[in-house]
Homo-oligomer: A and B are copies of this chain.
């Protein structure tokens, strides 16, 4: 459903939301290592996100990526839009030209409610809300399970 690229992007933003702020920037190397994602690929993605103001960054020594208060008010949906675009979510599950309740394909009424709910959650909840839940409930972002939450 989501591309690899988008999955990496979401995880890295959530990571930054937990571990960074205006005074604590984090370099690509660290992020890639923590999330176990390919480093140069992630760098490219972070640059895309930076261009759309979904993450902040400064160059130079002790520079890096970080999330401002404002960055934290974006939604997961903004990330998906930035990296993957929204086609997969708008289009018919079976690839028909239009997807609406008037001309439903055989799986339309199975698929649409789910997509709707997913969309709402992704659009309505801010990154900040997500990270709050994450830190409270001990959910996972990295592949090396709980390490990311220990510090």
Where the two chains meet, the residues of A that have a C-beta atom closer than 8 Å to any C-beta of B are: 1-2, 4, 7-8, 10-11, 14, 76, 88, 93-97, 103-108, 110-111, 114, 117-118, 121, 130, 133-134, 139-143, 145
Contact = CB atoms under 8 A, between A and B. Distances in A.
A104 B149 CA distance: 13
B106 A130 contact: yes
A133 B110 CA distance: 13
A7 B96 CA distance: 9
Give the most central of A14, A95, A134, A142: most B CB within 10 Å.
A95
- Give me the 7 closest cross-chain CB pairs, A-B, nearest first: A114-B114, A7-B95, A1-B1, A7-B94, A110-B121, A106-B139, A97-B143
